[in-house]
Copies of this chain bind each other. A is one copy, B any other.
């Protein structure tokens, strides 16, 4: 029975339908949606009509399928532009990618989760958005820990409460206590590691992007594999990453708060 949870209000239900379509990753038939949703026929039908009429979904009358609509694409651009760090940081991220030749992640914190807002892949030189936009856990990723380390106590508390502490690998820090110890170490040295805590073989070195007030407004990381490099070699890059992060920070500060003394 509805593993989901709280779907209160008409708007909430409509958004659930949207999510359902999105989760398929391809055009879906009405009947497919009907079988997997708890909504009665007519209700589901009306939601699909409304969402289509609103441009959030697109209906292909020939094939009788629904897919995500252009209005969402437009919102995608707005969201991208508004997640402020990405457009500002772009040239700096490019620079870091070029200098290291490794995979770069730019992330922001949202409700205890990590939101990747930009990415440069080592293999495929310029790919984007298709990669960005993903969300991930904070407690077991480099960027996540880097940002958690600079959260004010109250916000940290809230964020920790939202972590699953699922043990992805044998190195995963699987309790708030262990994580807090690690966060202290991160603050001491100014950068965070991912020691195969999320995926085996994947390591990274991450640095927070701090506002003037000392809050983490994002994080930047260089990722690689144990097959190709070592944690020590990645740490050698920490200075460079911090430098780039500082420049992004300065740029962001002047952009977001042009008027100040």
Which residues in A have some Cβ–Cβ distance to B below 8 Å?
8-12, 14-15, 18-19, 22-23, 25-27, 47, 50-51, 53-56, 58, 62-63, 67-84, 87, 108-111, 113, 115, 117, 126, 128-130, 132-135, 213, 215, 256-257
Contact = CB atoms under 8 A, between A and B. Distances in A.
Contacts of A12: 50, 53-54
Contact of A11 (B11, B78, B126): B11
Nearest to A90: B130
Query: Copy number of this protein in the oligomer?
Result: 2
A27 B15 CA distance: 22
Given A22-B75, A80-B76, A83-B70, A54 B15 contact: yes
A74 B10 contact: no
A58 B135 CA distance: 15
Q: Which one of A25, A54, A115 has the highest number of Cβ atoms from chain B below 10 Å of its Cβ?
A: A54
Contacts of A74: 22, 110, 115, 133-135
Contacts of A83: 58, 67-70, 72-73
Contacts of A23: 78
Contact of A69 (B68, B73, B79): B79
B22 A79 contact: yes
A27 to B, nearest CB: 7
A19 B75 contact: yes
Contacts of A55: 110-111
Contacts of A213: 62
A132 B129 CA distance: 13
A76 B11 contact: no
B130 A54 contact: no
B26 A87 contact: no
Nearest to A22: B78
Given A70-B109, A81-B133, 14 more contacts: A15-B54, A19-B75, A22-B75, A22-B82, A62-B215, A70-B111, A70-B115, A72-B76, A72-B79, A74-B134, A76-B133, A77-B132, A87-B129, A87-B130
21 contacts: A11-B50, A11-B54, A25-B81, A26-B82, A55-B110, A55-B111, A68-B83, A70-B110, A73-B80, A73-B110, A73-B115, A73-B117, A73-B133, A74-B110, A74-B135, A77-B133, A77-B134, A81-B130, A87-B130, A128-B129, A129-B129
